[in-house]
Structure 1
């Protein structure tokens, strides 16, 4: 194997009604590779391997419509070390906020996949590609470093690694698929659980206490308690309680002999609200709308 690239010339020589195909290297030596059909207008494709640049390259020569007259000959150099491009690449919004799920099919002949990301900074102006994950052998990646409402463009590059003279180099696919996505959080949090309305003794007299269990959503922000004097209506805001505060509230503004209806709603950091959880002021009854024995 020679260190410097050889120059390969293609020579077509007419012999009677047939055609002979030769290669001519820099040392002027000739090697007969094959004989084409002798009939007129018969396409011929000949493929043969040659060692070039310490790699096994593939020269593909195509000589269509061979006749004993001047014609054109094309050559396509294929490098089997360059991997095919990634297939079926998609970027999906997970709908829970601040994350994007990427999926693809790693092609045969590829060692792994590198993921690049761009951020839309202004109209039609994306930032330079940033490598956010490399040498992934799976067919998916979860990006948890994004911001909701922003536009992102992803690129998935199939790669191979070559060792030449004890030095490892990365070879990338020439075609790189892209996908764009805008992550948003539109999934509501869980509602407060085990809402209980009861009467408790207070120095100022009997009061109504609302207690509940905080949802376990990681992005839970706060809980709002609504009060109404008519069943089925959410009513007015009674109080707003942080998700880190104690899960109980004492309604000191309730008037005697008035029936109140309480609705406890949880909100996440994206502003999504849980489903309504309405409770009657029946002491110790976690399910006030169900018939009681």
Structure 2
């Protein structure tokens, strides 16, 4: 399985990079088109990230792109990575518990690539958003994962409906049962148990996705990525022109506290990134620039 997957790995990594480039261009376009401010349009600062294995050898890396203090985006990160190496004992145990892969302890090699995005907005009426898609490979199995979810601090039913409709339109060609299943999975996954509430208004989520048909599964993960910009950008364009008050900003900061709690306590990607030695700044770029707890 190792040899036949080399081309597939390159194809997946190339797609995630292209999706990253498309999103960065769209977000900088939103900055350029924002009116009513003398501030300069925001731009992404891009730095290379590196992952080192336990013995200090190169284990891949990626690009971390962060825009701070823009006209529209208060902080947004769009990262892409390609990492490889061997899974440590804790990661092996977690993989075994989740997937029951025989032979993992004997051959713990892995390869992973993906894109991860989190946007925190200036205007409290514009929702925060998260999206990621990824491919994971071991000598024993491969799979895809990802999804996106909307995190408004001030909810608008029409925004929620639009976001979900775009996800559904991209998923329906892959099976009528897929959107309801991935929506329910997102509702379960993006839930904060200690607060007894969801962190937002949901979206779609899947993990460990492998039907045995790589091309089919890759086409699905591509469509999940393609759904993001048409699902999110119209909401930004609609809400960024609304006036907001100090009370609205306070509501936003408190809601960001929920987001930070979830990502630090429960998020699987955060845990995996830190446990496998990836760049900590890239892993934690999802955290908001400011937050508040009451």
- After TM superposition, the score normalised by the length of structure 2 is 0.19
Considering fraction of residues, name the structure with more strand. 1
- After TM superposition, the score normalised by the length of structure 1 is 0.19
- Over alpha carbons, which structure has the higher Rg? 1
The structure with higher relative contact order (CA 8 Å, sep 6+) is 2
Considering fraction of residues, name the structure with more helix. 2
